[in-house]
Structure 1
């Protein structure tokens, strides 16, 4: 039996082998492509942000989004090796206990910070005392710290709770207490996603409302349209990356916790989860474009890089 099998109970005391992850080849190829394509852009982003001043709340959220991306890039090779079926038992356990949890910490951190970025873009146009306070750098740092601490509080027990010493999928490795905490983690993170989605929806709606109200003033219209385009771009990336995954995540969790026992249903839910998780990971490729588009200091730094070679040629 390989580490890529999943056991499910059927009948009274009889166990039936239900292999749900026997079509991982295409997913593995796509994960490898995502890793190769996204790595240079994120490394350049690290360099650019190190050289860019960070004096705005938006920059704080963008930097934290980059940190989440780097965590995902570090954890992704372990998932690729595991999905290839080439992982030894110790690496399989490490993935289930550490790198898989890191992937989900990264994904939900990205959800939170994308929501903050969209909200911040709207607040830039609301010149009230309250909105200016919300955009203070100190407040952005505090809010970012709260997000990371909350995610660690929810996720880290999944790394520490005991597992069974049998070679099966991550959900089957978990003992009962670990499986119950895993289910609780999923529902808590889903609640975080719903709150972030509400912030994205409200901010996007208010941006559109402001755009429509400014039609009579060409100057206001140009500014409002620029903000609306940036919010629409980030919101589209948010919806594409994270909404399909959460549509599938809850029923898949029911299969993991043995509420759903039918093998064919579990296979379909597993493929749905992997397909939508792939969409979630795809944001690694698009986030450097978001950094470039939304951060003026970041753009300035990147443009200096592009100008440097041409200047040296002229010399």
Structure 2
């Protein structure tokens, strides 16, 4: 059986007004048109809905029983077809899942959480680890917001480039490279390196840049995260190359030294990515704005609190 949602609006008006004429005025249709709708409702439900009692119409017991349910259903349908764009942060209750690069969680996560808790205490954030393989969580709706250095290629995934950070060389205090006047590309290549790769790859764009100078480097170990790589390097002569935004904390917390990278490389970008289904979702727009502010400020070193 095919259902006509117009009949739901007509039934609601008939039960509220108690007459065909009143329901017709309410829905801005003619009385004959409303009378035809009442006939269709009677055939669909098998109930008279309204019966004449003298000069007035009286609802049947069935009509009285379903009156509130019909009204609530109609309001739900209207809410689905014309959703409110108003966002009440004070009462918003929602859990967002974020898949961010681990360094970005450490840099921008606290500022984002502080801003969220201040504005919408009913919102919860779930930061989950990045995978070592390409995964479709954004497309499937399992992740609300991703943040990493990858620009998405799928047309349904939208992204903003929210920040960028220059690459630097990170070594322990007293490392041989700290005792030379200038870290040249040749000296950089001659050192032993640790590569940061979630997939365990030994090579990356650094090797391409060195190859253009007829230089090669030796990667002796890989680590899945920058923080793990810094731990390797703090007690050895290994060299880590990482975004300056991430390396700042290593210099402050681990006593590492930052040196300029003697290669012509573009800065490491930070992309905020989401599925297009959330483009016009008011709560998601609000979260994206806070995340953009938190990441931009953290990567640029302008602060750790999003406003």
In the superposition, the TM-score normalised over structure 2's length comes to: 0.19
Greater helix fraction, Structure 1 or Structure 2:
1
Greater strand fraction, Structure 1 or Structure 2:
2
Pick the structure with greater CA Rg.
Answer: 2
* Structure of greater relative contact order (alpha carbons < 8 Å, 6+ residues apart): 1
In the superposition, the TM-score normalised over structure 1's length comes to: 0.19
